Chains A and B, each alone.
Chain A
């Protein structure tokens, strides 16, 4: 039953321009802001940097750093994009007034929501793959331009990065989906989601750092867990201003568990909202 629902949602995704536009925007971000701009900075400012800093910078941009570099950019730059994708997917039926029609066609409302939620998770797999491929290609081009050797990590490491990228994207997307289901408005969901993940999470992380006994709080945050997973692959946290770039807390395994918990909790919240409020 859920297979049909999943098929329906994947079919419908082709006609969701907002979702496709966000995925395209993220792909552009990867090429432009993760590779092109830093490489231009390296070319123009590298000689004035400390040698160790310049070496670190270029090693991330070359194929040898491709297995961790994009993962490092994901929590700060890609996470909010995935959150928006989740919110758009969840709120489409409220926006177009199609929920009643759709639910009237459903034999099982849980399967409907499950299909849509699963559709989001499945759809993020090609997004993660494209992200990784763009990273590998961009680093290859930089190696060529820079006349550096193109030494990629082995397949296992790259597969691990793909899995990590997908898990982080899925967790952020799922949170966006749940907020979308709660607010029923794409704009409200995006505003609430971004306020939470960008401001509230960082305020809580700051609190956890300064108040004794609250250190564990950091390990439960979406941003921290995403950064921790990226760090496990070898990345330093990549931030907008540097202010949010504190070293992530916890172990990689805990980070994976936290991210999976976010996904499961997001589904439960969405399901409860639909059952209690939107259907009888």
Chain B
């Protein structure tokens, strides 16, 4: 059974549809969520994170339909979420910030310290654990955001633009982390950086204007590429070809 399943999901802002009848499912592995600006990626991530409630359709996460308050609570305990816009308390140290979220996430008291340390180590910030957040670079803050999202070992991890602000070396490290996380869990990564998807994801979903355009493996996306459409890498060509073909038919 997939960890995330959506059937005919719809959502709009003030009458303007953003997600239109989306039917998708995500299982164990790392899933790249691609799409142009305004495609509805962040809205979809927010619905999966239970921040926004769908206008219609069904959304089932970890076997719980997200309709009742009980279902929402049960799912939220097992979710990890890094929003696109990630606020932080500047005076907190890295450790304090992650610990604060560990408490909020109901991590058992006896596990808080070890889980916090492990999350910080996994994002490569062990040597900066006692630094205040206001002294960190944008890329480091992003990694702190990832640490708070994984501190409770979530079964479904949602990362909205996690690699924004990371330098090339950090992005490579992040891909290793993603692969590691995706071995036992469902990780959904929304991003514009399609090289990250090709390198780290086991599956790719491409959406445009709130509708599904493509769902398959990175190799399938690459195979769909047409050399005539341009693009510097095979995955860019695949992305552009599929997107343009879809737009031509709608």
Contacts and interface: CB of A to CB of B under 8 A. Distances in A.
A126 interface: no
Interface in B48-86: 49-53, 72-74, 76-77, 79, 81, 83, 85-86
B100 A11 contact: yes
A9 to B, nearest CB: 9
A112 interface: yes
Interface in B61-117: 72-74, 76-77, 79, 81, 83, 85-92, 96, 99-101, 103-106, 109
Contacts of B100: 8, 11-12
B91 A104 contact: no
Contacts of B49: 104
A15 B89 contact: yes
A106 B91 contact: no
Interface in B15-37: none
Chain A: number of interface residues, binned into ranges: 20 to 34
A105 B92 contact: no
A93 to B, nearest CB: 7
Nearest to B45: A104
B241 interface: no
Contacts of B105: 105, 107
A222 B77 CA distance: 39
A105 B73 contact: no
B148 interface: yes
Interface residues of B, number: 32
Contacts of B103: 4-5, 7-8, 11
Nearest to A100: B83
A101 B99 contact: no
Nearest to B74: A107
A106 B90 contact: no
Interface in A155-187: none
Contacts of A98: 87-89
A96 B91 CA distance: 11
Interface in A83-102: 92-93, 96-102
B104 A8 contact: yes
Q: Which of B83, B109, B145 lies at the interface centre, i.e. has the most chain A CB atoms within 10 A of its CB?
A: B83
A40 interface: no
Contacts of B106: 1, 4, 107
A213 interface: no
A97 B106 CA distance: 22
A199 interface: no
A32 to B, nearest CB: 28
A17 interface: yes
Interface in B126-181: 145, 148
Contacts of B74: 107
Nearest to B84: A100
Interface string A10-33: 011001110000000000000000
B18 to A, nearest CB: 14
Q: Which of B53, B85, B103, B148 lies at the interface centre, i.e. has the most chain A CB atoms within 10 A of its CB?
A: B103
B145 to A, nearest CB: 8
Q: Which of B73, B74, B91, B106 lies at the interface centre, i.e. has the most chain A CB atoms within 10 A of its CB?
A: B106
Ranked 9 nearest A-B pairs via Cβ: A97-B87, A8-B103, A98-B87, A104-B81, A107-B76, A280-B53, A107-B73, A107-B77, A15-B91
11 contacts: A8-B100, A11-B96, A11-B99, A96-B88, A98-B88, A100-B83, A104-B51, A105-B101, A106-B76, A107-B77, A280-B50
Interface of B: 49-53, 72-74, 76-77, 79, 81, 83, 85-92, 96, 99-101, 103-106, 109, 145, 148
Interface of A: 1, 4-5, 7-8, 11-12, 15-17, 92-93, 96-108, 112, 279-280
